[in-house]
């Protein structure tokens, strides 16, 4: 009995209209390498092409499409994905689609049924080794749907088996995962430290530097400044496994510090793939780090370790603390605020932030603020104080605490500097040794070549000369480096370190000591500093928690903006009135107040004559000079005020009132006396408005600009009702 093939048992499914269209042969190859290694798919491709010819299609009308490689034999299609390929060819021009398994034409049930619908609408047939199917027919469509469902379930089972095998191998520590810098996998699968001695030295140096500096950027700067490169094994390509030397980068150092392999820990499943973050054409994108408790495999003491687990955990904690968040200290940054990241509000317990104000000469003045409620909820500022006074107070206590250990610190610093110089010098010598080996290798290659073969000899000679030139340049760089940074500390440098140990304040104030160095020392010795401003005065209570848990309670003073903020203002006011009533002049009053220990606000150390005059004006004590000027001036109107009198009535500083005059917030004019004295026009309603304006919080105008425009409108309306003689001259 003759066995007939399925397509030979057809009963009218293939019509002449199908033969007039194209026959598409679908194959699936993932990579060009798969085409070379798996020739069976290529043979199936030719077999399917021949079957299309046997079904009646002319060879010129048979088109071969490869889904994943994104190309076709005829060159008509250059985009991946079967549905997109067919849509570009046009289903209206396709009569038959052939494949090994028709359910492999789509990767999910949704795509498969969408393909069936498209083929049914276009009148195209589907064929595999089991037969030819018409998607427009009910029976064939039912069979194709069942094939797609079974294929999707089969694909899930295959993936599940592969995943179980992979995770089982990983739990035994046998799954080959990508290795970080400083490791090498042997042919038998064993993981060892990189046999290159220079690679190991650089890896150890990175961890030692981070343990010392605590900053990824600090480690990177040190490596760049000392000309140190990273040895990396190429992972793919024709040079796979070769050692290449590249300049250090932040991402490489960060990955080294985070990778648990350096602590001897074998891990698997540290990340997952988020399809929403994947970038088309980049298969390695979309990875999201998982928390440590969600890692699939965690096997300590499996890999050769560079550091201990304790140091690995400490590095992770340091990196986390360097993040700029409210719950962490943040990384050390430029700026004179020494307590950044350490200072907490003694009132609400939140971490205080740092702001800088630029003073004369461009100098930055730090200011500590507790602004969490203000920033998050639009509330009021909890408290703020100038940073310089608090930094000075904590610095004095810090230097006093370090004084007994000064000699020990100096010896440790000398030993650390000596060790670091030797490590760097060792890396340079290893680079020179590698360059000498390259010269010797190029020389031997040149000598082994046949002299008659000039084409080869000339190239080998150029390589030899190139290695000699590189060795000479590297030697010159090393000589310059060694001259600037000797391998061993000189006697003068050691003596200087010992001398500085006896004078820590001088070291602290030295120009070579940066603000970053000072802040780093602060963080080593101090856990946190809690401050509380007493009411709104200049007094500040300070509680310092040292490393180890010991606490020191104290108090300092801060500069304030107004006299009435001083805690001793009642005593100061009473004494100033007493001296003024006794007929003392302003310079004499200033001398007496300074001698009795009274101090003005705004970072001033002593009262001056002008400051006393301002104080007397605030207190309502009119000087004899001003009394004379008022007697000689024209009489004031019923609603006219001298600035001093109006400021005292409202309860605000006189200088602030003059600022309002310049901004045009009040109606004022100048007298024709020699001092061009100001006179302000304000009835009772205006006085109440100014009082409410003064009670608004600082910065209220910037946050609510509409209120500022409202004030200006009121002022302009008032000015419009006055004559030209009353127009303020601002």
Secondary structure of 34-46 in HEC code, one letter for each residue: HHHHCHHHHHHHH
Helices (H), 449-568: 454-484, 491-501, 504-509, 515-525
Active-site option among 30, 108, 326, 466: 30
Q: What is the DSSP string of 28-86?
A: --SSHHHHHH-HHHHHHHHHHHHHHHHTT--GGGEEEEETTTTEETTS---SSSHHHHH
Could you tell me the maximum CA-CA distance found in the chain, to the nearest angstrom? Answer: 140
Secondary structure of 343-406 in HEC code, one letter for each residue: EEECCCCCECEEEEEECHHHCEEEEEEECHHHHHHCCCCCEEEEHHHHHHHHHHHHHHHHHHHH
Give the start-end residues of each E strand in 640-725. 640-641, 667-670, 678-681
CA-CA-CA-CA torsion sign (319, 323, 327, 333): positive
Supply angle C-alpha 273, 275, 276, rounded to 5.
125
Residues in Cβ contact with 618 at an 8 Å cutoff, skipping those fewer than 6 apart: 563, 564, 647, 648, 653, 654
| Phi and psi torsions of 287, nearest 5° | -80, 140
d(CA 356, CA 699): 16
Chain-centroid distance of CA 215 in Å reads: 12
Supply angle C-alpha 547, 549, 553, rounded to 5.
100
Q: Which of 560-586 are b and which e, b meaning 16 or more Cβ less than 10 Å from the residue's Cβ?
A: beebbbbeebeebbebbeebbeeebeb
- Tokens (6 digits) for 152: 């999707």
CA-CA-CA-CA torsion sign (719, 724, 725, 727): positive
Residue 30 a catalytic site member:
yes
What is the CB-side half-sphere exposure of residue 388 using CA atoms within 13 A?
A: 10
- Tokens (6 digits) for 590: 């200033």
| Phi and psi torsions of 628, nearest 5° | -65, -45
Q: Are 228 and 248 in contact (CB under 8 A)?
A: yes
Q: Give the CA distances from residue 186 to residues 197, 265, 493, 713, in Å, rounded to whole numbers and listed in that order.
A: 17, 18, 46, 83
- Tokens (6 digits) for 591: 């001398």
Supply angle C-alpha 99, 104, 106, rounded to 5.
115
What is the CB-side half-sphere exposure of residue 307 using CA atoms within 13 A?
A: 26
As a whole number of Å, the end-to-end CA separation of the chain is 117
- Tokens (6 digits) for 5: 């093939």
How many residues are recorded in the chain? 730
Task: Tell me whether strands 526-533 and 539-546 are parallel, antiparallel or unpaired.
Answer: antiparallel
Q: What is the DSSP string of 322-334?
A: TS-STTS-----S
Q: Are 727 and 718 in contact (CB under 8 A)?
A: no
What is the CB-side half-sphere exposure of residue 644 using CA atoms within 13 A?
A: 15
The catalytic site residues sit at 30
């Amino acid at each position: 009995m003759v066995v007939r093939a399925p397509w030979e048992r057809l009963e009218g499914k293939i019509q002449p209209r199908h033969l007039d269209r194209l026959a598409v042969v679908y194959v699936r190859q993932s990579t060009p390498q798969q085409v070379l290694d798996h020739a069976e798919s290529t043979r199936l491709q030719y077999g399917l092409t021949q079957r299309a010819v046997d079904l009646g299609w002319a060879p010129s009308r048979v088109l071969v499409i490869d889904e994943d490689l994104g190309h076709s034999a005829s060159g008509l299609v250059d985009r991946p994905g079967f549905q997109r390929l067919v849509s570009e060819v046009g289903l209206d021009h396709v009569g038959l689609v052939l494949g090994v398994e028709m359910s492999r034409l789509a990767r999910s049930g949704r795509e498969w049924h969408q393909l069936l619908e498209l083929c049914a609408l276009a009148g195209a047939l589907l064929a595999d080794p089991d037969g030819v199917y018409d998607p427009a027919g009910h029976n064939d469509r039912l069979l194709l749907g069942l094939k797609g469902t079974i294929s999707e379930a089969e694909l899930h089972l295959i993936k599940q088996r592969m995943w179980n095998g992979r995770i089982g191998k990983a739990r035994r520590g046998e799954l080959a995962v990508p290795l970080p810098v400083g490791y090498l996998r042997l042919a038998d699968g064993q993981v060892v430290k990189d046999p290159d001695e220079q690679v190991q030295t650089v890896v150890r140096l990175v961890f030692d530097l981070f343990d010392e500096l605590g900053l990824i950027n600090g480690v990177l700067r040190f490596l760049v400044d000392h000309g140190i490169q990273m040895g990396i094994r190429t992972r793919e390509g024709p040079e796979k496994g070769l050692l290449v030397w590249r300049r250090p980068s932040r991402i490489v150092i960060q990955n080294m510090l985070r990778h648990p392999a350096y602590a001897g820990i074998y891990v698997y499943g540290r990340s997952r793939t988020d399809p929403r973050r994947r970038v088309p054409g980049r298969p390695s994108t979309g990875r999201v780090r998982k928390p440590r408790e969600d890692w699939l495999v965690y096997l300590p003491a499996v890999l050769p370790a560079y550091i201990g687990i304790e140091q690995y955990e400490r590095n992770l904690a340091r990196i986390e603390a360097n993040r700029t968040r409210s719950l962490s200290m943040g990384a050390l940054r430029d700026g004179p605020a020494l307590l950044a990241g350490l200072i907490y509000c003694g009132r609400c317990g939140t971490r205080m932030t740092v702001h800088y104000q630029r003073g004369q000469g461009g100098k930055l003045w730090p200011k500590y603020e507790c602004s969490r409620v203000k920033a998050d909820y639009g509330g009021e500022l909890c408290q703020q104080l100038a940073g310089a006074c608090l930094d000075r107070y904590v610095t004095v206590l810090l230097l006093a605490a370090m004084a007994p250990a000064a000699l020990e610190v100096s010896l440790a610093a000398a030993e650390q500097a000596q060790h670091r110089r030797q490590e760097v010098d060792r890396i340079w010598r290893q680079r020179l040794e590698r360059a000498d080996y390259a010269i010797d290798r190029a020389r031997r290659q040149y000598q082994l070549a046949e002299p008659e073969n000039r084409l080869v000899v000339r190239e080998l000679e150029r390589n030899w000369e190139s290695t000699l030139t590189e060795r000479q340049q590297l030697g010159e760089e090393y000589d310059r480096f060694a001259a600037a940074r000797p391998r061993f500390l000189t006697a003068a440098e050691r003596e200087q370190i010992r001398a500085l140990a006896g004078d820590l304040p001088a070291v602290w104030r030295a120009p070579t000591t940066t603000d970053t160095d000072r802040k780093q020392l602060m963080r080593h010795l101090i856990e946190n500093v809690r401050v509380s401003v007493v009411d709104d005065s200049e007094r500040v209570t300070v509680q310092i928690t040292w490393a180890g848990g010991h606490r020191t309670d104290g108090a300092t003073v801060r500069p304030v903006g107004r006299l009435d903020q001083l805690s001793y203002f009642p005593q100061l006011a009473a004494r100033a009135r007493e001296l003024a009533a006794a007929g003392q002049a302003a310079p004499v009053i200033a001398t007496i107040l300074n001698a009795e220990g009274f101090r003005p606000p705004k970072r001033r150390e002593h009262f001056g004559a002008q400051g006393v005059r301002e104080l007397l004006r605030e207190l309502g004590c009119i000087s004899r000079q001003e009394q004379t000027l008022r007697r000689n001036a024209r009489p004031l109107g019923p609603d006219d005020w001298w600035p001093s009198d109006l400021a005292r009535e409202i309860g605000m500083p006189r200088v602030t009132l003059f600022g309002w005059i310049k901004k045009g917030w009040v109606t004022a004019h100048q007298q024709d006396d020699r001092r061009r004295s100001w006179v302000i026009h304000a009835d009772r309603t205006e006085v109440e408005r100014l009082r409410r304006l003064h009670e608004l919080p600082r910065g209220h105008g910037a946050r609510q600009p509409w209120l500022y425009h409202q004030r200006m409108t009121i002022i302009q309306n008032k000015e419009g009702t006055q004559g030209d003689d009353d127009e303020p001259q601002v």
